[in-house]
Chains A and B, each alone.
Chain A
Amino acid sequence: SQELEQSPQSLIVQEGKNLTINCTSSKTLYGLYWYKQKYGEGLIFLMMLQKGGEEKSHEKITAKLDEKKQQSSLHITASQPSHAGIYLCGADAYGGATNKLIFGTGTLLAVQP
């Protein structure tokens, strides 16, 4: 079965600093998703990557999928307290007629003012 490992597990940065979160898959990725979650709340979709070498940006967040489609990174530029939360990568795992989303281990981000 496919597994997603995220690193680091947790991260504390000073406001204004840049940071990177990594997501490594045990199998080739066919759809890689990044979500953000505030504690005890639902998941907020950030970005989806499908093609090897693809890169997408939204505001100060950039996500990349490597050429081999087994690793993705999420980069935040000039972090702000609003970026704090849990970041989860997710990947499609085919479950027969319906695909299902499996999640990485998660990265807890704290941004200190």
Chain B
Amino acid sequence: DAGVIQSPRHEVTEMGQEVTLRCKPISGHNSLFWYRQTMMRGLELLIYFNNNVPIDDSGMPEDRFSAKMPNASFSTLKIQPSEPRDSAVYFCASSYYVGGRGNQPQHFGDGTRLSIL
């Protein structure tokens, strides 16, 4: 089975440029998560969707960040304009949410390593 697929794997760009990260979740999963990982702060949830609807975006750092999920098989995380402090590894994860106390593990992609110069 194909896992969570993220692209690109690496992105290097200059400050001020728009950056778009892409994610294809595991087929049949109905929840999708965007995380950011840095040495200082560890792994932080930015936003997550259930059935393509944003449920919790409290981790989105500021208006420069936006995320969309136009259908069940694709999501994007966009940063515009990008800043050096956005440099991090961005992970996408998906799961099958069964509601309430449902306990299903999250499956992670290999991440996008983003460097803003």
Partners in one complex: no
